[in-house]
Structure 1
């Protein structure tokens, strides 16, 4: 596979990722800020929101996979990584997909927890690389990897906000919405969006580093 094809795919996945994020945040805001709409309709939209949210998860995995393949192609990583990362990426996507499909079961909860631990492990590996685990990497790439670790951290924090949202949402489904619960889910939306802005800042910094390679 040529460097150009990998690079174009890497850039295309970035657009896919940011576009998905914008759609998800827009739908999430609509759901949390429209108490005048029938709750059953909002509940159906929330279920759809989680389907759309899968695209962001796919994009993160694809971006990491393609980035590692590019780094291997440029000899910043060992050559074995070029073929190993697609296998790792495919396995991770399978985990994310099964966890999503089983999300209403105990098995789905366990798989989601495994996925979070995978993210912690990858963030740690990125930080190790950023601080010199691979002496073949230039400084700009190490900083980029550190930002990618921070980005994964932002994503995990957003997941915890969503878990809080769904706890309140389950109460609303069982007992009906009310002003206090509506206020909580709107506040949770705002907090998650602030973390999302930090995530986008990391992405913007990573893009600038990749383009200009200043250091």
Structure 2
């Protein structure tokens, strides 16, 4: 069926855009931390980084409704059809919220940001709970889906950790933008970027593991 094939294609494209977007943001960050670059160049690198980062953020959110639908379609998840519809509505609402957070800055986007963060915490605990319940036999899910739930939940958790790690970056960037770079601001930017990279690379590894699980579909 064409619809089923397109759904598989969409689900396969998720790790492609997730890892590809992350790689672009990762490379862009090298220009942001380079003290040899001018302030306008470094600020442009930051802008490009932020925009490219929406590709993996979008892919993360869309992984859930597409994966949920595939699991239902192939009989791995025994649920009523209405839950699939609800999953897509929830996913698209969350996606719209994430893009609103990206486009609205300052106080105008503060409430949206809080709601988005709350959703991410709920998703982390829901995925971890589903994975552990399935592994313990209390929830009827194939092993590979249980493991994917744990892996994707950890990806979201690491994304939240990255946000915490980036907090000191904002003040240093504001200092650089308004008053020019200083050795201290450059040190903070480089240190924060280096710490966040460890979390990002860990996410890459987990996305690859989730992809292998989805392709191999072990019992």
Find the aligned partners of 1:113 and 1:41 in 2 and give their Cα distance: 31
Find the aligned partners of 1:3 and 1:160 in 2 and give their Cα distance: 39
**Post-superposition shift, 1:191?**
0.8
Give the 3-state SS of the residue equivalent to 1:185 in structure 2: helix
The answer to whether 1:37 aligns with 2:37 is yes
Q: How does 1:139-150 map to 2 (within 5 A)?
A: 139-150=143-154
Give the 3-state SS of the residue equivalent to 1:80 in structure 2: helix
Find the aligned partners of 2:128 and 2:195 in 1 and give their Cα distance: 25
The one of 173, 184, 190 equivalent to 2:188 is 184
**Post-superposition shift, 1:29?**
1.6
Deviating more after overlay: 47-56 vs 122-131: 47-56
How far does the alpha carbon of each residue in 1:9-55 deviate from its partner, in whole angstroms, 9 at most, with x for none?
100121111110100110012211x2122112211321232122112
Distance 1:151 1:87, change over 3 A: same
RMSD of aligned C-alpha atoms?
Answer: 1.7
How far does the alpha carbon of each residue in 1:128-169 deviate from its partner, in whole angstroms, 9 at most, with x for none?
211226723112210110111001011111122233212211
Find the aligned partners of 2:82 and 2:95 in 1 and give their Cα distance: 20
If the length of structure 1 is used for normalisation, what is the TM-score? 0.91
- Gapped runs of 5+ residues in structure 2? none
Which segments of structure 1 move beyond 4 Å, counting only runs of 4 or more?
Answer: none
- Gapped runs of 5+ residues in structure 1? none
Give the 3-state SS of the residue equivalent to 1:183 in structure 2: helix
**Post-superposition shift, 1:96?**
1.0
- Equivalent position of 1:102 in the other structure: 104
- Equivalent position of 2:13 in the other structure: 12
**8 Å CA contact 1:127, 1:149 repeated in 2:** yes
**8 Å CA contact 2:17, 2:59 repeated in 1:** yes
What is the aligned residue count? 213
- Equivalent position of 1:46 in the other structure: 46
